Amino acid sequence: MPAVTTRTTTRYLMPGGWPTRPEGTMNFVRELRMSVRDRPARPCGPARRGRGIVGYSARMTDPGRSCLVVGSSDGIGRRVVERMVADGWTVTGISRSPADSLGDRHHHHVLDVRAADYRAALAAVCDQRGPFDVAVYCAGVGDLLELDDLAAQRAAFEVNLLGAVDTFGVLYPAWRARRAGHFVVLSSLADKLLGPRSPGYNASKAAVSSYFESLALAVRGDGIAITNLRFGFVDTKLAKSPLRPFMLTRDRAARTVARVIARRPIRRSTPLPMVALCAALGLILQCRALLG
């Protein structure tokens, strides 16, 4: 009988491939169960994919590693900082507003992503606190903007898109030299919707998704991962819509950030019911636009 060798055990098959007699079937099932039971635990995240980085987990527990969080004084960013500090990371937060210290492993710098000297100021922070293994871009402006408020429409692009582009641009040279780094940018499920009440916000998030998913393919050869994290409604002060179905808590949003840091996908969309609702709504709005 031919032998098929795997990583965990040697399985003997009948000449036809699979067992043809009941006792042969039972022996095969017994060996298969032993194979699964005795199989060593598979590493998670980049180690499983052969990226050479070990130590990620679903809880982000990794003492000694360093993370940059932009937009860290409130909302999702603050929850991400709290979780990572609790899990042993050294975290540097950046935001327009001051933030309370969370201990020796937490540093905060007041910077505005719209400022003309933001790139130079961020580079100075990187020289002082870096190198960073992971960066999470949480800065953003609200979803409902007045149509005649051109300054607010412009701010949506400057904060949601250009701030993220500038942040990655500062981090990229060091990450490319180290051939390691992970950039997580928070986008929105609204990026595929025709939103009559929030065209500036939706368009800026669409640009974020398109730009960074394209960039992820361009830089993966440098050992750098980029994740576009698309949320639905999250319980923050930015969510001003009167209808907020399937709204996530900030704690759950932070747990999702933990998972994408562990797994490093190019795109993650959550929650699934809201993903389905947005897909259906997007199709309806596109049909209405085409039919007039």
Residue type, 242: P
- Helix, strand, coil shares of the chain, percent, nearest 5, are 45, 15, 35
Helices (H), 179-265: 199-219, 250-263
**pTM of the predicted structure, to 2 decimals:** 0.75
Q: Which domains does the chain have, with CATH numbers?
A: 3-38 (no CATH), 48-291 (3.40.50.720)
- Whether 205 contacts 193, CB under 8 Å: no
Q: What is the structure's pLDDT at 70?
A: 97
Q: What is the structure's pLDDT at 42?
A: 46
The CA distance from 150 to 148, in Å, is 6
Q: With H, G, I as helix, E, B as strand and everything else as coil, classify residue 55.
A: coil
Residues 6 or more apart in contact with residue 133 via CB below 8 angstroms: 65, 66, 67, 180, 181, 182
The CA distance from 3 to 143, in Å, is 61
Q: What is the structure's pLDDT at 266?
A: 96
- pLDDT digit of tens for each residue in the chain (292 aa)? 555 444 443 343 444 444 444 455 555 455 545 544 444 444 444 444 434 333 344 445 555 799 999 999 988 999 999 999 998 999 999 999 999 889 999 999 999 999 999 999 999 999 999 899 999 999 988 766 677 778 888 999 999 999 999 999 999 999 999 999 999 999 988 887 766 677 888 899 999 999 999 999 999 999 999 999 998 888 776 655 666 667 788 899 999 999 999 999 999 998 887 878 877 877 777 787 777 6
